[in-house]
Chains A and B, each alone.
Chain A
Amino acid sequence: NAGVIQTPRHKVTGKGQEATLWCEPISGHSAVFWYRQTIVQGLEFLTYFRNQAPIDDSGMPKERFSAQMPNQSHSTLKIQSTQPQDSAVYLCASSLDSEENERLFFGHGTKLSVL
């Protein structure tokens, strides 16, 4: 079991460019979460999928952020027209979606730097 895989590990974009971040959850996990991590905000919830369906995207900045889960083996987070304030570590996590087994397994994250 390779754990949650996130690619790329680092991404540098220019202001106004698009960034796509990839996540492969642990096989068999039905819940996938995206978080943005900064020193000031900590782990900020962005969005959550269950069995590939979007359940809660209340944390997503609506204008430029979007997330998809086209199949059970990967999810993407896309940021259009990136801004310097988008610079952060973006963490993906997966979980068995049951009350008894609820715990998150995190990937190593993608460090996004917007110049």
Chain B
Amino acid sequence: GDSVTQTEGLVTLTEGLPVMLNCTYQTIYSNPFLFWYVQHLNESPRLLLKSFTDNKRTEHQGFHATLHKSSSSFHLQKSSAQLSDSALYYCALSDRASGTYQRFGTGTKLQVVP
């Protein structure tokens, strides 16, 4: 079945360094929607960005991601981490052709330190 893999459970970075959180996925069909949600402490998850277009960069609030269907990846990046970026980040997948909606990975906790 369709699934999402986030290999890092915890990423600790020094403020100012670049961020890259990994997300790979598996789908039966080839037209998935990929999403990144962010959850700050004591808040509920909210959408950060999404994409369904192959090889097109999507940006929001300083973060960006590019869907690469050839490698089934949708990694989240930011050029310079800020303390306020510390949060839980979830990658999610929808593939309407297979009837899969909003399936999440296990999440990556990003900890930015001074």
Which A residues form the contact surface with B (CB < 8 A)? Answer: 31, 33, 35, 40-45, 48, 55-56, 91, 93, 95, 99, 102-109
Query: Does B44 interact with chain A (Cβ within 8 Å)?
Result: yes
Cα distance A86–B38 in the bound complex, in angstroms: 24
Instruction: Tell me which of A31, A55, A103, A106 contacts B44 (CB under 8 A).
Output: A106
Could you tell me the distance in whole angstroms from the C-beta of A59 to the nearest C-beta in chain B?
Answer: 9
Q: B45 touching A102 by the CB < 8 A rule? A: no
Query: Does B46 interact with chain A (Cβ within 8 Å)?
Result: yes
Interface size on B, residues (CB 8 A): 23
Cα distance A48–B101 in the bound complex, in angstroms: 8
Say yes or no: A43-B90 contact (C-beta < 8 A), given A103-B35, A103-B47: yes
**Interface majority SS on A: helix, strand, loop or mixed?**
strand
Could you tell me the distance in whole angstroms from the C-beta of B24 to the nearest C-beta in chain A?
Answer: 15
Cα distance A102–B105 in the bound complex, in angstroms: 18
Q: What are the 6 A-B residue pairs with the smallest beta carbon separation, nearest first?
A: A42-B106, A106-B44, A43-B104, A42-B107, A103-B47, A106-B45
Interface residues of B in 55-114 (CB under 8 A from A): 90, 92, 94, 96, 99, 101-107
Q: B44 touching A45 by the CB < 8 A rule? A: no
Residue numbers in A under 8 Å from B45 (CB-CB):
43, 91, 104, 106
